[in-house]
Amino acid sequence: MSHATETEVADAAKHIRSLNQALNQVLFGQEELIDLVITGVLARGHILLEGLPGLGKTELVKGLSRSLRLDTKRVQFTPDLLPGDITGNPVLQEVNGKREFVFQPGPLFTNILLADEINRASPKTQSALLEAMQERRVTVLGHTHDLPKPFFVLATQNPIELEGTYPLPEAQLDRFLFKLEVTRNNVSTLERIVNHRELGTDPVVEAIMTSETLDQILGLVRRIFLPTPVANYIARLVDATHPGQSTAARGIRYGASPRAALSLASAAKARALINERPHASFEDVRFVAGAVLRHRIVLEYNARIEGLTANDLVRTILEEVPFQANATPRTMVNS
């Protein structure tokens, strides 16, 4: 596969800038969040959005689907939701004079699945997403059905309302490329929202690109060059999340998986394209590291008692691990 050229990268970046501008008109004051959502989509990844109700998580996903002209379905996850309610079920029908089961696709068969409050569904229903998120297909009664391309799961969850919820297991968390935290708005942003929004009305979003253009851009991301030193840096970052491999890892019980390394590489390539570069850099990796790693490490009990969070430990790891192998740790350089 040939590497991306500067001309191809420049042409794609124009479309991405238009997409960025459109989404910033949907969700005010969340520029970094929008950058990361676009990065995640270009890396073909699933995204978990965590934040309090009313911060615009759903509106952001709806705006993304309209601007990309992608088919979108929304599923409100509840404790009584069954796996077949998502994947679809065989239905007994008459075909050519015979009665037989015919598969009726569920809402999972779409380009963007908005899984609203995903942690309210039972573990059995949550597990129905595992095959879809990893392999982009669904198996029902022994028959496999391919999902549309592209396929993304953008899920939301409330970080504080825990009654009646089922925390996502590590196996499913690992299938999300990013976990993004949606923060509250400051006063100036709230004033802008009051002046430009009305309760119950959706912001107007124009289509930015065709499905063919999006497909070309997604293919271009894969052709962004990943230099060997950057790949080595990714490997050392992931290794540093495991106990005994760094100072920060003393507070970690289980570190990140190889899928985290692949996620860092894909996201860094997408970030490079957004910045109009045909190659990924160390800074691209640092920009996406928190979103990729925060949900993939399990903290020790003592670390939680001390008030440490996954974000704290990821920041410490980024300070400790130097860009170049065998170089002085960044903490010593900065001191």
Do 234 and 206 lie in one domain? The reply is no
Spans in the chain with pLDDT lower than 70:
161-164, 199-201, 327-335
pLDDT tens, position by position, 62-89: 899 999 989 999 999 988 999 999 999 8
Residue 226 CA: distances (Å) to CA of 29, 42, 66, 272: 32, 16, 31, 10
pLDDT tens, position by position, 107-122: 999 999 999 999 888 8
Do 217 and 238 lie in one domain? The reply is no
- Predicted pLDDT at 52: 81
Decide: 265 and 226 in contact? Cβ < 8 Å: yes
Boundary-marking domain end, from 169, 188, 223: 223
Do 219 and 296 lie in one domain? The reply is no
- Domain hosting residue 30, numbered range: 1-223
Cα separation, 323 vs 73, in Å, equals: 42
Domains in the chain: how many in total? 2
Do 208 and 317 lie in one domain? The reply is no
CATH code for position 277? 1.10.8.80
DSSP state of 3: P
